[in-house]
Chain A
């Protein structure tokens, strides 16, 4: 929203020495954010007054003319398309480098073979009206070479306010409200809002006009006034100037006056052509109801849109935009002014559904004071009468009042104010601040009884904390001292989950030399389909913004595969990890609300992905990384890879394993199948590990802390032994037999797997270092021989294993 400083000065005295920068800063630090300011003269930078010296026909275009224009410093050749250009006219010339209010940048150009060094401007190009029929001809007192801003007498400066920072302050959406605020901040008195004399409000005659409000909630106030004997003419200069200053395009006097009053008071008004209007109504739209709005678009009305009707036919979308049929036309001679208060929620919803935001809807959706329509229509009438002295009030205004506002005093204890701020503002100052803002204050002992003005009571002021805010922000947040917090020792438990997460991140990015990645929580249908996941089992967004991000991920793999695509041409091999939540359509651990219903599962997962040219190699590395992570957390725990009961469909057949630690399954690993890799366009081989963070956390909480084990005093004995078994015998099954065979066997380390010559078809050799050790004594060769003989027997019985002779 734009504010004109001259306009604000209509209502409040702003010290001359206050620069626009300082004024902007006052508002920013105490009320709303000012995004910037601009002297109006800047709007017409590089636009000057010129005199047309010659006009000749363009040799190559019937509708263009070649002109020369004197701009005092020089004489410019300009190609002009306007039919009304003539020798001797004084005109507005945009020089090369000018940027016009409509955004047009003037450059040296060649038009049909003729050079043009500027542009002679039409009214609309200067943001001063709608006229594009011809160039704007200036009056005689224009001086050649004078800046156009100087010619217009523009000395105003405009402030641009961030609309978002006004969202809770419906009262600040007009100059008067903002002037009131400035008055409070600058301690300057506020002039009363201009209203017509009582005499001017006397109606002449009687209008056939009625208003019926079907739904009270939709409309808390509706005033309709018929005004006769007006015309559709151009607005007077002062009015156009004011509107242009704040970026509103002048249209015609009738429309401009309603806009002016909106920008003045904050109350949107609408003017209907009165022709044929007698029975106005306010109701919600019906199914399949539509309306052509005054921007010429046919619009279907969404449900619960408030409409204004005439004889039950919609003629306007309440609070948003009027209809084309009842709009002000060139032929208009009498009008109906509507000043109303519509339900903020309904206007906001309809505006969102229609995708139509207007100056009116932006104000209505903030919740407006229902007292405002009355002073607004009167102000409009006052101006109309000034522009059209012959205009008549045709009948007494129809005024429907559907609201009751009982002023409620808010009790605010002075000592509470002081305690909450950490600063004593003082009684006198507190009262002064509130009164300048329009609050009524009564002091009862230590307590302030504060009554909010109606324009604040409708929306943002209802509790003592609101009063605290008023006092604090007017004084200035920066005037409040910084006070050290008295120590309260934390009584909350340690965050062990964070501790574990950090340990994992550190080992994987450290020893594991992986890069941590963050991916979106959302995945696409096509990616899920390629991985053979069934999208029907996935939670999805109601309102996704792209096809890529529709479903809620159930595995970190999906998006990590996209990471492979991103990196495969820059890095021949790499590893990534991510810790993040996945979402499943089953009950999880968090409550939805106080009723105890559980929300969907959203546990964390750790994903590790390894990509490289060799499939066996990446799978080995992935497994190794999982083991590294686990063994760094629990150096003494047993880590096992076992057959995965139901492998995901994306793994290469048989190339997946469950990962367990200390006897508990906590995740799995698998190698991506060639088919899925192709579907994703991956050139590298990929292996993946996924750990269920919650299971890991359970281990973290349950496994006892590592205990120091004294280094053995007696030497270990290591025997190497290789077994030849069927290749289908799994390492882990075999290993478990070895390691669990005898208490003296403390380690069974695989050091070689061999298949090929000398073993026979379908056989493999597994070679182990077997370590025997006793804490109490040195072992003898004999007893080890005995154990080992039994062990070999056991392996023969269980696996038909043969000892391989090296």
Chain B
């Protein structure tokens, strides 16, 4: 056995000495040391040797195999080095990997979700097809309020027992306010991002499908000053530490007092430019102290608890952030847009 092995080795090494290129090296490899090569064939004979001799033969086989492999690797390394010789241009681009992207609204939404999480807010989700009760009535928007106009609200083609349409595509993420109150009660500190709908013809500035982010804080002794504090923090997060908040009265049925919130224009730092229409301020949010009727609809006693709510249009934030001037691109599915983020 030992002789056979050594003979094979010598034969292999002789062959190896004559090798001049990698392809003939590969032939030699196949012939002798591959899985189906001569060495494997010989080794399989080990099984047939009687047990007492097998150990010695095994050791010999291992040493021969090792020697063959070492020489083989040496030759291969030197051949490879030779083959690679010559000038290497290190500036040639590397292997091309295709990249994927998240939608820009996902990006900004996550940024805000994570920010609010650091302030102790939970993130909640709710239905997009919503009842008039949660979309309007529970929010202190009585029947026949202008906000319920068919012009603004998509209704779904299912009539209730009274023969009326009472299912809508939610017009605002505020629909989750009362749902959250009913489910979790007070204290409550949550944001609700999501898709909303308005029955409105689309153009560069209007979309019938867009995104909002709603926030609600309810506890004992919550006041207007607390709302300002949180909204100031949001402004600084979005547009930098020098950002100021300006608030002015605005009517929303589900808050009292109601306000809107403007931040210092990030582009001109308040000096006035095209983006802020020369005002120095960007109108970003609506907010207010939660109306007692809304608290009651949510099963929370407004004499014990108070709270505030606020809402942003996410599309607008994304448009400002990336300088997008046509709102329709968000739902276009156009990769020339999607691949930029």
Contact = CB atoms under 8 A, between A and B. Distances in A.
Contact of B256 (A365, A419, A468, A592): A468
A482 B228 contact: yes
Contacts of B102: 505, 509, 516
A664 B197 CA distance: 35
B43 interface: no
Given A502-B110, A567-B333, A599 B127 contact: yes
A639 interface: no
B113 interface: yes
Interface in A168-226: 168-169
A28 B195 CA distance: 30
Interface string A498-512: 100010010011101
Contacts of A522: 209
B contact residues, range: 35 or more
Interface stretch (B6-14, B56-64, B146-154): B146-154
B238 interface: no
A348 B165 contact: no
Contacts of A352: 149-151
A483 B335 contact: no
Contacts of A480: 224-225, 228
Interface string B302-341: 0000100000000000000000000000111111101100
Contacts of A508: 100
Interface stretch (A238-246, A310-318, A538-546): A538-546
A29 B256 contact: no
A95 interface: no
Interface stretch (B24-32, B82-90, B118-126): B118-126
A521 B251 contact: no
Contact of B224 (A420, A490, A580): A420
B273 interface: no
A345 interface: yes
Interface stretch (B66-74, B215-223, B263-271): B215-223
Contact of A571 (B144, B221, B335): B335
Contact of B187 (A491, A495, A571, A583): A491
Contacts of A552: 129, 156
A466 B256 contact: yes
A539 B197 CA distance: 16
Contact of B157 (A492, A493, A541): A541
A549 interface: yes
B156 A465 contact: no
B258 A542 contact: no
B42 interface: no
Given A495-B124, A516-B102, A488 B187 contact: yes
A771 B257 CA distance: 71
Contacts of B332: 566
A66 B251 CA distance: 57
A485 interface: yes
Nearest to B229: A482
B52 interface: no
B229 A365 contact: no
Given A422-B226, A599-B131, A465 B292 contact: yes
Contact of A345 (B110, B144, B256, B292): B144
A520 B202 CA distance: 12
A30 B249 contact: yes
B225 A549 contact: no
Nearest to A483: B225
Contact of B105 (A491, A518, A574): A518
Contacts of A493: 122
A473 interface: yes
A541 B155 contact: yes
A contact residues, range: 35 or more
B50 interface: no
A123 interface: no
A777 B224 CA distance: 71
A29 B248 contact: yes
Contact of B100 (A463, A472, A485, A514): A514
Contact of B106 (A420, A473, A490, A516): A516
Contact of B98 (A513, A542, A592, A600): A513
Contact of A473 (B101, B226, B257, B331): B257
Nearest to B195: A521
Interface stretch (A294-302, A556-564, A759-767): A556-564
B249 A600 contact: no
Interface string A4-38: 00000000000000000000000011111100000
Contact of B154 (A483, A541, A562, A585): A541
A398 interface: no
B65 interface: no
Nearest to A471: B257
Contacts of B289: 420, 465, 468
A9 to B, nearest CB: 24
19 contacts: A165-B250, A352-B149, A365-B146, A478-B247, A483-B226, A490-B189, A494-B122, A495-B123, A509-B100, A513-B98, A518-B103, A539-B129, A540-B157, A541-B169, A543-B154, A590-B127, A592-B133, A592-B167, A602-B129
Given A498-B113, A593-B134, 7 more contacts: A167-B251, A421-B223, A477-B224, A482-B245, A487-B120, A498-B123, A566-B332
Interface of B: 97-103, 105-106, 110, 113, 120-131, 133-134, 144, 146, 149-151, 154-158, 165-167, 169, 184, 187-190, 195, 197, 199-202, 208-209, 217, 219, 221-226, 228-230, 232, 245-251, 256-259, 289, 291-292, 306, 330-336, 338-339
Which 10 pairs show the lowest CB-CB distances between chains A and B?
A422-B225, A563-B333, A469-B257, A483-B225, A509-B100, A477-B247, A593-B133, A422-B223, A513-B100, A492-B122
Interface of A: 28-33, 165, 167-169, 345, 348-349, 352, 365, 419-423, 463, 465-466, 468-469, 472-473, 477-478, 480-485, 487-495, 497-498, 502, 505, 508-510, 512-522, 539-545, 549, 552, 559-560, 562-563, 566-567, 570-571, 574-576, 580-581, 583, 585, 588, 590, 592-594, 599-600, 602
